[in-house]
């Protein structure tokens, strides 16, 4: 058997939510392992583009909303025309609803589901045809440990992230085309999503309850994503993995 290399040399990877946080770290990791990276975000992605190019990889930033079918379809065509392939899709873009039940209205509920779940569906719809044509593809959908945690906020968020696990299992039915799909749950990680939303004492409580007693960094999720998006992970599909320092395992 060839040694496990986690190489992404010659691969084209599309990462949503690439402007900052976990998506930015995933872009950098893929670039450091040789992938051409296409970042998708509503925000400016110049910082991520700089990191990818500093790693010696090709970069293309696309300003698009993952909830827009037209924008995502156009993105798929752009990837096809520019690179002729899409080997890796990391569905990472997401938003949260850090409010309890009484403050959650239907509009916010729908917005969360549109970005976190419909966005992943639309991206897969746009890029799976390229993977099928090549007989190869690696999809990683970012979900969350909130799916298994006893919290009173993030209600629509948790439902959307449970949906992501279901979507992932359905996408695993593409195995006959050489396509795998897996879900990855990061744990609570300081990013733009948590800034000003999650108080320090919550971080401290999570630190204490995890097996590994420190706060996660954006880089902690990257090796798991790199493995699942590599050709080495050809026999792993339809699964959901927590890269969470044992946090969800230990919480009461
Ligand atoms: N930070 C955490 O504690 C944590 C824990 C578990 C899971 N996650 C998940 O990790 C992923 C990344 O989160 P993060 O913490 O890096 O958050 P973040 O807010 O820092 O980054 C999310 C990115 O997604 C982009 N985005 C949002 N809506 C979009 C849309 N409609 N179209 C295109 N881009 C859009 C944002 O502009 C942003 O750049 C999310 O799916 C999140 O649910 C985060």
Q: Render each residue's pLDDT in the chain as its tens digit; 252 residues.
A: 778 888 899 999 999 999 999 999 999 999 999 999 999 999 999 999 999 999 999 999 999 999 999 999 999 999 999 999 999 999 999 999 999 999 999 999 999 999 999 999 999 999 999 999 999 999 999 999 999 887 889 999 999 999 999 999 999 999 999 999 999 999 999 999 999 999 999 999 889 888 999 999 999 999 999 999 999 999 999 999 999 999 888 765
Mutate to test the pocket of ligand 1, among 26, 64, 94 (most ligand atoms within 8 A of CB): 94
Residue 180 has a pLDDT of: 98
If one counts every other C-beta atom within 10 angstroms of the C-beta of residue 75, the result is: 24
Tell me if 185 sits within 8 A of 247, measured CB to CB: no
Q: How far is the CA of 125 from the centre of ligand 1 (A)?
A: 20
Q: How far is the CA of 25 from the centre of ligand 1 (A)?
A: 12
Token couple for 101: 């039940």
Residue 251 has a pLDDT of: 67
Tell me if 135 sits within 8 A of 177, measured CB to CB: yes
* Rounded-to-integer distance, Cα 68 and Cα 233, Å: 31
Determine the atom of ligand 1 nearest the C-alpha atom of 22: 16
Determine the atom of ligand 1 nearest the C-alpha atom of 24: 16
Tell me if 168 sits within 8 A of 150, measured CB to CB: no
Q: How far is the CA of 185 from the centre of ligand 1 (A)?
A: 12
Residue 6 has a pLDDT of: 87
Residue 252 has a pLDDT of: 59
CA-nearest residue for atom 11, ligand 1, is 92
* Rounded-to-integer distance, Cα 136 and Cα 165, Å: 21
In degrees, rounded to 5, the angle at the alpha carbon of residue 67 between the alpha carbons of residues 66 and 69 is 90
Token couple for 10: 């010659």
- Ligand 1 binding pocket (C-beta < 6 A) is 16-17, 19-23, 40-43, 65-67, 92-95, 115, 119, 142, 144, 186, 188-189, 191-194
Strand partners, 61: 39
CA-nearest residue for atom 19, ligand 1, is 193
Report the catalytic residues.
Answer: 157
If one counts every other C-beta atom within 10 angstroms of the C-beta of residue 223, the result is: 12
CATH number, span 12-247: 3.40.50.720
Q: How far is the CA of 219 from the centre of ligand 1 (A)?
A: 14
Q: Locate the domains of the chain by residue range.
A: 12-247
């Amino acid at each position: 058997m060839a040694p496990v290399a986690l190489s992404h040399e010659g691969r084209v990877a599309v990462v949503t939510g690439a402007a900052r946080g976990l998506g930015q770290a995933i872009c950098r990791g893929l670039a450091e392992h040789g992938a051409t990276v296409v970042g998708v975000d509503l925000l400016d992605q110049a910082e991520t583009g700089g990191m990818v190019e500093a790693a010696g990889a090709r970069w293309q930033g696309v300003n698009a909303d993952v909830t827009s079918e037209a924008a995502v379809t156009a993105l798929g065509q752009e990837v096809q025309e520019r690179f002729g392939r899409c080997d890796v899709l990391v569905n990472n873009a997401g938003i949260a609803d850090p409010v309890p039940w009484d403050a959650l209205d239907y509009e916010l509920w729908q917005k969360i589901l549109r970005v976190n779940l419909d966005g992943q569906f639309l991206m897969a719809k746009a890029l799976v045809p390229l993977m099928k044509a090549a007989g190869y593809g690696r999809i990683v959908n970012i979900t969350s440990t909130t799916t298994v945690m006893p919290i009173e906020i993030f209600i629509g968020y948790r439902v959307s992230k449970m949906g992501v696990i279901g979507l992932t299992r359905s996408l695993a039915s593409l195995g006959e085309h050489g396509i795998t799909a897996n879900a990855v749950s990061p744990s609570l990680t300081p990013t733009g999503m948590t800034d000003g939303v999650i108080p320090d004492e919550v971080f401290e409580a999570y630190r204490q309850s995890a097996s590994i007693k420190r706060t996660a960094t954006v880089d902690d999720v990257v090796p798991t994503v790199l493995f699942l998006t590599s050709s080495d992970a050809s026999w792993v599909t339809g699964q959901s993995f927590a890269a969470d320092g044992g946090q969800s395992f230990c919480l009461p």
